[in-house]
């Protein structure tokens, strides 16, 4: 229930809203857009500045609902399409929903992030703790985040760079690129797209990369201790370093590196599976 | 459709309404085509879900094990009460897809829209002589796909989903179905392959998660 109405900016003729309000630790920011773009950047003030470009009959509402500050826009006929530019303190958790569409960009956050769009790409730089980015029809890009990371899209690629923590990435029709990752738990799957992983293979870690119709390329550091299971129906296997296969079945084989404490599952029904050394994964695929 | 009764159709199905409420709902059903149609649809879905096999093991191994480790009969009974019910991966997939179908039906109930035909056909995977559990999963998935078609048509009608988004969702469903068909063909060549069985189940899991998510998006309110 809405407890306090902080501000309502209703501009009958003008097409911009520009307002700033104070926020305190413990609050979170929730932005809803019906179509347009949402750009949130950080600044070092305990306040949120909202600049919005919208139709002359639309109005932006900023309201508090418990610890949540909600920003949304309406028109006489329902939700409105707005382009938002928001400045927020890096500590404030962020939630953005774009239905039916929104292009979402978040930069400099040091807090939890939840973004969900139906149509539109998502790009987030930063983030700590729970990070959940979902799109139906759009690319998902995450850089420099740390925490429990969940990335989903249906028709689009997923790119994760320089992130740490548990990572789960899933798409139906798109590539998944995971570069500069520090993690002991990674799960990436695509039905129709390639998967690249270049990051740590930690002792006792769990790594699973699966594609139906795309290649799977994974970097293995020289000192890695891993039991690697490779499975394919009609794809190829290629390794840039020698491996000794110890257990071979018709469509699957395993081998061990070092003490074998980490577990890697690499599966591609119809694509190639490639093992590379760090730094070689992306280069090799660029050449193809 | 009546909001009050929409929310209580599943209670009616489960025989959880008291006598007066039951009579009142039945009176409402006699005059509301929408509620009657959705109730019939829910009955079909629940019937199919209930038809999923919950087979016990062909041979109970526990007595032999109990004898060897010296468990008493009481302990045996106690263990049986606490027995964890487990399913194979394909069984879980089949059951999950059936549940998705039920959820989708309920979501559509909540959207208060009468059933209508979808304008664009969505390909679905067909039976290719696979194990019965996969076929049941197919059957349940078909129901969920039908629900998705309705939800997509409704999402398009309300402007919540653009034609491009609907096309992309249908395309993605076709991509998954194509992968499932390939998995089935491979499994026919090598039915004993653990990898192929697991891969097919995993692709079907993809499909069920996709259907769940697509239904959620298509039926959610702004």
pLDDT digits (tens, 9 = 90+) for B122-154: 333 333 445 555 666 666 667 777 878 888 888
- Distant-in-sequence, close-in-space partners of B40: CB < 8 Å, separation ≥ 6: none
Inspect the interface and report whether the beta carbons of A269 and B199 lie closer than 8 Å: yes
pLDDT digits (tens, 9 = 90+) for A48-103: 999 999 888 888 999 998 899 999 998 887 788 899 999 999 999 999 998 778 89
Inspect the interface and report whether the beta carbons of B210 and A100 lie closer than 8 Å: no
pLDDT bin (cut points 50, 70, 90) of residue B19 is confident
| Residues of chain A positioned with their CB less than 8 A from the CB of B209 | 170
Chain A: residue nearest B158 by CA? Answer: A100
- Write down the domain spans for chain A: 1-156
Other CB atoms within 10 Å distance of the CB of residue A223? 8
* Residue A37: pLDDT over 50: yes
| Residues of chain B positioned with their CB less than 8 A from the CB of A101 | 162
pTM to 2 decimals?
0.72
Contact B138, B211 (CB under 8 A): no
| Residue in B160, B186, B199 to test binding to A, most A beta-carbons within 10 Å | B199
The C-alpha atoms of residue B121 and residue B144 are separated, in whole angstroms, by 14
Task: Report which of A206, A209, A207 is spatially closest to residue A190, judged by C-alpha positions.
Answer: A209
* Burial annotation A142-164 (CB, 10 A radius, 16+ → b, else e): bbbbbbbbbbbbbbbbbbbbebb
* ipTM of the prediction: 0.82
pLDDT digits (tens, 9 = 90+) for B83-132: 333 344 444 555 555 555 555 444 444 444 443 333 333 333 333 445 55
Inspect the interface and report whether the beta carbons of A212 and B217 lie closer than 8 Å: no
Inspect the interface and report whether the beta carbons of A137 and B171 lie closer than 8 Å: no
- Write down the domain spans for chain B: 3-219
Inspect the interface and report whether the beta carbons of A270 and B182 lie closer than 8 Å: yes
Tell me which residue in B175, B186, B217 faces A118 most closely, judged by beta carbons.
Answer: B217
Tell me, what's the pLDDT at B6? 67
- CB-based burial label for A82 (10 Å; 0-12, 13-18, 19+): buried
Cis peptide bond upstream of B186, omega within 30: no
| Residue in B206, B210, B215, B216 to test binding to A, most A beta-carbons within 10 Å | B206
| Residue in A33, A72, A75, A100 to test binding to B, most B beta-carbons within 10 Å | A100
Tell me, yes or no, if B164 comes closer than 8 A to chain A by beta carbon: yes
Tell me, yes or no, if A150 comes closer than 8 A to chain B by beta carbon: no
Contact A160, A177 (CB under 8 A): yes
């Amino acid at each position: 229930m809405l407890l306090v109405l902080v501000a309502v900016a209703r501009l009958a003729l003008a097409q911009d809203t520009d307002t700033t309000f104070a926020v305190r630790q413990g609050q979170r920011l929730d932005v809803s857009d019906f179509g347009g773009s949402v750009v949130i950047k950080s600044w070092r003030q305990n306040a949120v500045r909202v600049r919005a470009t919208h139709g002359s009959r639309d109005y932006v509402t900023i309201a508090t609902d418990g610890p949540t500050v909600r920003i949304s826009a309406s028109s006489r006929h329902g939700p409105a399409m707005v382009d938002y530019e928001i400045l927020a303190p890096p500590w404030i958790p962020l939630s953005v929903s774009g239905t039916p569409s929104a292009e979402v960009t978040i930069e400099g956050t040091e807090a939890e992030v939840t973004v969900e769009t139906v149509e539109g790409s998502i790009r987030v730089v930063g983030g700590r703790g729970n990070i959940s980015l979902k799109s139906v029809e759009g690319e998902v890009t995450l850089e420099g985040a740390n925490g429990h990371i969940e990335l989903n899209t249906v028709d689009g690629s997923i790119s994760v760079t320089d992130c740490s923590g548990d990572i789960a990435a899933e798409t139906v029709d798109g590539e998944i690129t995971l570069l500069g990752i520090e993690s002991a738990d990674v799960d990436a799957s695509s039905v129709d797209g390639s998967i690249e992983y270049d990051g740590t293979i930690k002792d006792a870690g769990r790594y699973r990369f699966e594609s139906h119709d795309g290649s799977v390329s994974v970097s293995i550091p020289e000192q890695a201790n891993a039991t690697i299971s490779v499975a394919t129906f009609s794809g190829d296997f290629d390794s840039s370093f020698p491996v000794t296969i110890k257990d071979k079945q018709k469509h699957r084989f395993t081998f061990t590196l070092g003490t074998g404490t980490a577990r890697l599952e690499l599966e591609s029904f119809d694509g190639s599976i490639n093992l590379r050394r760090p730094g070689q994964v992306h280069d090799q695929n660029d050449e193809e | 459709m009546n909001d009050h009764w929409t929310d209580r159709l599943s209670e009616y199905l489960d025989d959880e309404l008291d006598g007066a409420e039951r009579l009142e709902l039945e009176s409402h059903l006699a005059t509301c085509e929408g509620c009657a149609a959705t109730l019939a649809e829910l009955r079909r879905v629940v019937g199919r879900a209930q038809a999923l096999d919950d087979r016990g093991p062909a041979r109970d191994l526990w007595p032999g094990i109990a004898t060897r480790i010296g468990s008493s009969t009481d302990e045996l009974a106690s263990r049986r009460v606490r027995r964890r019910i487990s399913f194979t991966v394909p069984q879980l997939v089949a059951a999950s897809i059936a549940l998705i179908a039920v959820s989708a039906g309920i979501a559509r109930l909540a959207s208060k829209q009468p059933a209508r035909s979808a304008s664009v056909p969505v390909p679905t995977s067909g039976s290719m002589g696979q194990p019965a559990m996969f076929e049941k999963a197919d059957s349940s998935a078909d129901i969920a796909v039908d629900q998705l078609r309705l939800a997509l048509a409704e999402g398009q009608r309300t402007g919540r989903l653009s034609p491009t988004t609907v096309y992309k969702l249908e395309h993605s469903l076709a991509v998954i179905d194509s992968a499932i068909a390939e998995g089935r063909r491979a499994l026919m060549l090598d039915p004993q392959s653990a990898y192929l069985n697991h891969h097919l189940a995993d692709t079907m899991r993809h499909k069920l998660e996709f259907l769940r998510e697509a239904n959620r998006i298509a039926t959610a309110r702004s």
